[in-house]
Structure 1
C-alpha cells in the first residue's frame, strides 16, 4: 500500500523547477480555499431558518469531530510527511507533524458529507465536496501530503458526519437551543433592523 502511495505521490508532486504561476495557484488552493467552509457555515447560520441553522451546526460539529479523530490517529499511528523523509519536492512551509489523515480535507469533507446526508442541503454539500478536490491536489503537488492522506480524510469525514447525524436529537437539545437563545439575545438589534434572520 505504501509503495502505491509513493507512486501516486510522484505522479502528482511538482517537478524540481515548476512554473512559478502554477506554484502560486496551488498555494492559493492549498491554504485559502478552505476559508470558504467557515464562511458558508456562518452565512448559513446568520441568514438561515431553523432547519438551515441546525444543518450548519451539525456540519460544524462533524468538522470538529473529524479534526479530533485525526489527532487521535496521529498519536496512534504517526505518518511522516514527504519532506520529512526527503521525498519529492516541497513548495509550501509546513510543520513536521503527522500527515495522515489530511486535516484540511477532513474539515472540508466532514462538512460536505454532513450536508450531503441531508437531502435538502445535498447540492451545497456536493459543491463543498468538489471544492475539496483541488485542495487535495494542491497539497500533494506542493509536497506536504501523500495521496492516501486524502483517502484517510474521506473515511474520517464520512464517519464523523454519520455519527453526528445519528446524534441529531441530542445535538439539538444540548447545543442548538442554547446557541440559538444566545444568538437571538446578542444579535437582537441586527435582527430587528432586518440585517439578520430571526
Structure 2
C-alpha cells in the first residue's frame, strides 16, 4: 500500500514542468521559507511573537532529534534505492523514515498554531502539507514516512506546549539577551501567557 500510494504521486513527476518546478522549489526551500517567516515574527511582532519563535525552535529541535533516533532504529531505504522512480533531485542514500523536511515543517506550523497565531499557523500548516507531498513527488520519501513525520511533529508540539512553563525560562533568557543587544529592534517586556 505504501509503495502504491508512492507511485500514484511520483508517477506525475517529470511530466508537468510547472508542477515539477513548484515541487522542487518547495522540497528544497521549504525550511528556508519557514525560517524567513519566523524571522519576520521575531523582528516585527510583539514580545509574544518572540516567545512563539523560541517555542517553535525548541519544538523543531526536539522533533528532529526524535527523527534522528527513529531513523537509526527503523532504517528504511529511500524509494529510489529499491525501486525505479521519477527522481527529480539527487539525494543521499540514507534512511527514508521519517522525513526531516516534513517533520521540521509540521513542527514549526503546529508550534505556531498552539500559540494561538491562527492565520500565520494555518498558512504554515498548508505549506507543511505541500512540503510533505513534495517529498513524495520528487522521489525522496514514501507516504508513510510523511505520516510518521506528521505524528512526530504533532506529539512533540503538544508536549512542548503542555510543558511550556518548563521551557519558558529558556525563552525568557534568549529574549532578554536579545533585548540587551544595542541597535536591534526591541519590544517592551511584558508577561506572556501560556
Distance 2:80 2:164 in 1: 41
Q: 1:64 to 1:11 in 2, by over 3 A?
A: same
RMSD (CA atoms)? 1.7
Q: 2:85 aligns with which of 73, 85, 88?
A: 88
Ranges in structure 1 where 5+ consecutive residues have no aligned partner: none
Distance 2:13 2:119 in 1: 39
Q: 1:160 aligns with which of 156, 159, 165?
A: 156
Ranges in structure 2 where 5+ consecutive residues have no aligned partner: 189-194
What residue number does 2:106 align with?
A: 109
Asked whether the equivalents of residues 63 and 153 of structure 2 are also in contact (C-alpha less than 8 Å), the reply is yes
Deviation (angstroms), 1:87: 3.5
Deviation (angstroms), 1:138: 1.8
Deviations 1:115-159 (A, max 9, x none): 2223x3122111101011222222211111111111001100011
Alignment of 1:178 with 2:173, yes or no, is: yes
Deviations 1:163-196 (A, max 9, x none): 11122112111x122212221122x2233xxxx5
Distance 2:151 2:72 in 1: 18
Alignment of 1:136 with 2:132, yes or no, is: yes
Runs of at least 4 residues off by over 4 Å? none
> SS state of the match for residue 184, structure 2?
helix
Deviation (angstroms), 1:25: 2.6
- Decide which moves more: 63-72 or 6-15: 6-15
Deviation (angstroms), 1:33: 2.7
Deviations 1:95-116 (A, max 9, x none): 1111111111101101111122
Q: Calculate the TM-score normalised by the size of structure 2.
A: 0.89
Distance 2:33 2:12 in 1: 29
Distance 1:113 1:15 in 2: 29
Distance 2:184 2:53 in 1: 20
What residue number does 1:31 align with?
A: 28
> SS state of the match for residue 180, structure 2?
helix
How many residues are treated as equivalent by the alignment? Answer: 188
Deviations 1:4-27 (A, max 9, x none): 101101100035852444323321
Distance 1:47 1:117 in 2: 20
Asked whether the equivalents of residues 14 and 143 of structure 1 are also in contact (C-alpha less than 8 Å), the reply is no
